[in-house]
Amino acid sequence: MTFEDLKLTRQFLNAIEEAGYQHPTEIQEKAIPRILAGQDLVGIAQTGTGKTAAYILPLLQILKFHQGPEPRCLILVPTKELVLQVDKTFEELSKYTDIKRIALYGGIGPKTQIEALIAGVDVIIATPGRFLEIYAKREIAPKKFKHVVIDECDRMMDMGFWPQLREIQEKIPQKKQQLLFSATFPEKVERIADNFLLFPQRIEVSPQSTPAESISQYLYEVPNFRAKLDLLLHFLKNDEQFNRVMVFVRSKEHATGIAKFLEGQGLGEIRMLHSNKGQNARINAIDDFKGGDVRVLVSTDVSSRGIDVVEVSHVINFNIPTHYEDYVHRIGRTGRAFKTGTAISFMDFSEEYHIGKIQKLIKQTIERIPMPEVIKIHETPFDEFQDQMREIDRQKKLENPDYKGAFHEKKQRFDVKKKVDKKGKPKRRKR
């Protein structure tokens, strides 16, 4: 199928060509005709499938040209990074129209955003929080909204946006076209669809939570934090293959520690993305990473959504996410639309449980690769080992609420200086 077959007009076909899209992706083939026909739609599609253009293109064609001053279309997304990402795709695809848009997100003062609203826009791309904040100042005229998109709905629900979404629905006209996109379709997303959409068509482009086939996934059993650092360094030294790498970590403290360690290793500049970083620092980091000035970006999950980085060579999961859908989102940074990519995960023994759950979710077994022999394994420090055992206890309790937690009674038995086996677990004392 071609974009011409989708009945898009010349100005969009030109913009599509300049964006470098040759053929519509599956979600585009399925969504564009339905949106053009005015239907409500639930699209199950993860990032990397081309879902943003799948709703932007038909909406642009429906909106046709700038009318103003009141906005006619509202696109809601969970994070400011995603607002910026959608805004960029919008800019690219609307270049041959005079349709005006505004990106509304927090972290900066609302003054400039309000000025643009007053000047008149057709489309608002916003996080729910900032939309309501500016709405409360009476700077958004809600009467003309005819199209609403809720993107990454599962993420919105995880982030607790249900009350805000409901509030927004109350403020805008009932009669409108609503489109909902989500990487997965859990019950809470179904609730949104049932409450807000009118006889929606449901389209799905890949089975629920399945990573794109273009991503090769590998798993290393790595006993401890130190060994994970050494393995990470081992990979990053190979700058020919690992030429644009996102390293995902559990927390901003981890991000800072790992970036600091890497900075001392002569790998070039290392940047970080996490919630403590200011808006400008984050945008600069993303731009420099995209531009190729920075090869390695260390990021937490919060910042992982909505960053569109084409041709990331590798995603490295320094830890296994305990929020299992984050695995799919993390590795979705590589192998994006028609490109191949590699996702490598580091797992210590307390994370095996989570890998089991992830494999169940993605309905795949991730290939395990032995640790490279050059990596010298050090003993797991006592505190870290205790944390790992505590985590195992927690998992056992999750599986069996009656489980009493063996670790707390026995923890005294492990001696700091004990010998470790290949996995970094202290060897048992012979009786």
Give the residues lining the site for ligand AMP (CB under 6 A).
21, 23-25, 28, 47-53, 308, 310, 336-338
Q: Which amino acid is at 26?
A: E
**What are the helix (H) ranges across 252-315?**
252-263, 279-291
Q: Shortest gap between Cβ of 207 and ligand AMP (angstroms)?
A: 16
When the beta carbons of 21 and 145 are compared against ligand AMP, the nearer one is 21
CB of 108 to ligand AMP, least distance (A): 24
Closer of 87 and 379 to ligand AMP (Cβ): 87
Residue 254 or 305 with smaller CB distance to ligand AMP: 305
3-state class (DSSP) for residue 288:
helix
**What minimum distance in Å lies between the beta carbon of 191 and ligand AMP?**
24
Q: How far is the CB of 61 from ligand AMP (least distance, A)?
A: 16
* Least gap, CB of 187 to ligand AMP (angstroms): 24
Q: Which CB sits closer to ligand AMP, 101 or 226?
A: 101
Closest distance between ligand AMP and the C-beta of residue 211, in Å? 13
Nearer Cβ to ligand AMP (40/152): 152
Is residue 209 a contact partner of residue 361, using CB atoms and an 8 Å limit? yes
334, 339, 357 from 364: Cα distances, Å: 17, 20, 11
Q: Which is nearer to ligand AMP, 290 or 394 (CB)?
A: 290
As measured in angstroms, the least distance from the Cβ of 16 to ligand AMP is 7
**Closer residue to ligand AMP, CB minimum distance, 94 or 113:** 94
Q: Which amino acid is at 191?
A: R
What H or E segment, with its residue span, contains residue 247? Answer: strand 245-248
Catalogue the long-range contacts made by 23-30 (C-beta closer than 8 Å, 24 or more residues apart). 24/50, 25/49, 25/50, 25/54, 25/205, 25/337, 26/205, 26/206, 27/51, 27/54, 27/203, 27/205, 28/53, 28/54, 28/57, 29/1, 30/54, 30/203, 30/205
Beta bridge partners of 215: 341
Round to whole Å and give the CA distance between 120 and 300. Answer: 36
Please identify, using beta-carbon distances, which residue of 306 and 321 lies nearer to ligand AMP: 306
What is the radius of gyration, based on Cα positions, of the chain?
Answer: 24
Q: Determine how β-strand 367-369 pairs with β-strand 314-317.
A: unpaired
Cα gap 227→230, rounded to integer Å:
5
Rounded-to-5 percentages of helix, strand, coil across the chain: 40, 15, 40
Task: Compute the least distance from the CB of residue 45 to ligand AMP, in Å.
Answer: 7
Residues whose CB falls within 8 Å of the CB of residue 65, separated by 6 or more in sequence, listed in order:
97, 98, 99
